[in-house]
Amino acid sequence: MIRRGFLGAVRLGQHRVLPGVPQVLPRLSPTSAFGSSTDSLVSRFCLEKMDLKDYALPNASWCPDMLNLYQEFLEKTKTDGWIKLPSFKSNRDHIQGLKLPFGLAVASDKSDWRIFTRCIQEEGRGYEYVIFFHPTKKKSICLFQPGPYLEGPPGFAHGGSVAALMDETFSKTAYLAGEGLFTVSLNIRFKNLIPVGSVAVLNVDVEKIEDQKLYMSCIAQSRDQQTVYAKCSGVFLQLQLEEESSP
């Protein structure tokens, strides 16, 4: 999630007080601060919200490889413990009833908030992706079909668009696996270009949770696993969301 939020949290950790607010940042203990189980996080994150559009569903722009892989993983949700994550247009929709900790909020009269990877509304033009998460293994698979509005080199996805989706997949995995909220670092090595309209499979693993951080890895490759597009490691800061107060 947002880098500015992480920097604010770091400053809070250094000074213990949020500027302008008489609030002391508590010393967090791994045994007490992160009591939410993966199952409870998943159940809250994946609540069915009939009034919200799930963008991680097949549409007419999906190529045959994307559709076939989607069906394969959908079958695994029935027997192998995988969960298909819904994808709404804003993280605000995913965490309804919760808010960022330590007063990290932005006052605005804007109403149309969107996750960066859901900012292109026209189907097939930008990010087409779906994330499957395995609670026990603490890993995710993201199926990604880049559209023409993500082009960098002619005919290929921009490296920044790939990095953004790696960060987004990391972020959802980090939150569900251990309440990871903010990106501390991303280190990416690009290996090959991803053709626009093709499918890349992002394999994300949580390597360890230590010192209030989640250490993660990702390999982006072709469907047949013969071509590695990029490798990435990431670190996420572990913080709990807070309950919103009733009006």
Task: Please classify residue 188 by burial: count the beta carbons closer than 10 Å to its beta carbon, then call 0-12 exposed, 13-18 middle and 19+ buried.
Answer: middle
CB atoms within 10 A of CB 86: 20
DSSP state of 151: B
Distance CA 129, CA 117 (A): 9
Q: What would the DSSP string read from start to end of 169-202?
A: HHHHHHHHHH-EEEEEEEEEEE-SPPBTTS-EEE
Strands (E), the chain: 83-84, 98-99, 127-134, 139-146, 180-190, 200-210, 213-222, 228-238, 242-243
Of residues 93, 167, 205, 224, which has the active-site annotation?
A: 167
To the query of whether residue 109 is one of the catalytic residues in this protein, the response is no
> Of the candidates 141, 158, 138, which has an alpha carbon nearest to the alpha carbon of residue 208?
138
> Of the candidates 109, 138, 137, 127, which has an alpha carbon nearest to the alpha carbon of residue 166?
127
Q: Which active-site residues does the annotation give?
A: 167
